[in-house]
Structure formats: C-alpha cells, structure tokens
Amino acid sequence: MHEDFQGPEGSRGQWLDNWEKETLAIYHTLSGVGSIAAQRLYLERVQEWEWHDATCWPVEQRQQRELPTAATLAVNQKGMLLLHPTAGTVLARYPFSDLIHWGHTPQAFAFCHGATPGTVVFKTLAAKAIFDLIHSFRDSDIAR
C-alpha cells in the first residue's frame, strides 16, 4: 500500500507507516459492518484529525531551534498547523483567532500571531498560495 510514496530521505515516512497500521487495525475491527456504516465510521474518524481538510505545503523555518528546519505547514478553516516533516505530528498551532496580520514575498510567508512573540517566517515557494488561502478563510464565515 502506498508503495509510490517517498519521504524526504527516500523512505515512506514514519507517519505514513503509522497511518497505515492504524487504518488496518480499524479495518479488522469492522468485520460484519455494512459498507455504508463503514464509510460513515471512516468519515467520522477522519473528521477527528486536527489537520482534516488542510492544504499542506513544505516550508523551512530557522527561528525556533527546538523545531526541525524542514516542516509542513497545514492550513484549514481553523488556522495553521506546523507538522513534523516525517512523523506528521503537530509541532505548533496558530489558530486564526490569534492571527494579527500576514504577508508574503515570492519566497517567504510571514505572520504575526498573538501567542507567538515577533514575526514567524517560513521560507516557501507557495507563499502566495498560503496567503490567498488564509485570506479567503479569514474573509469567510468558516473561520468566525
């Protein structure tokens, strides 16, 4: 399963292996459950994930030494999550309710966040796309 996935070091990535094991464990507990019920249970499980419905981009950060340089920035209707690049664990949370302002250059995305002192800067080629997505969420009723 997912044999074509290659992580940053050419590996499948620990988060993918964990996801696969968890999914198979759930699958084995569903014997005898109808197709529609199984789909509903799966969707309920997916919606519990903090990064559900997120769009993700690879980013680099150099400000916080305790965090890896390479990471994944996930943006959904609730805010932004900084994810570990291989484990997929949440390293930092930036809810839109605490977002003060944000901007971009061709190679970086930056924002000020109430819970984080100073400006947070991520080097990325997707800066404009991240800016536009956050702008659309902030201007919609979804983020309120």
Every domain of the chain with CATH number 2.30.29.30 lies at 55-139
The answer to whether the CB of 42 falls within 8 A of the CB of 24 is no
CATH of region 55-139: 2.30.29.30
Cα distances from 124 to residues 17, 34, 58, 110, 131, in angstroms, run 26, 44, 7, 10, 11
Q: What is the pLDDT of residue 59?
A: 96
Q: Does the pLDDT at position 97 exceed 50? A: yes
Percent of the chain with pLDDT over 90: 39
pLDDT tens digits, residue range 45-66? 777 778 778 899 999 998 888 8
Q: What is the pLDDT of residue 109?
A: 96
Q: Which of 57, 48, 109, 53 lies closest to 83, judged by CA?
A: 57
Phi, psi of 10, deg, nearest 5:
85, 0
The answer to whether the CB of 59 falls within 8 A of the CB of 72 is yes
Q: What is the pLDDT of residue 143?
A: 46
Report pTM: 0.70
pLDDT tens digits, residue range 6-48? 444 444 567 667 777 877 777 777 777 788 887 888 788 777 7
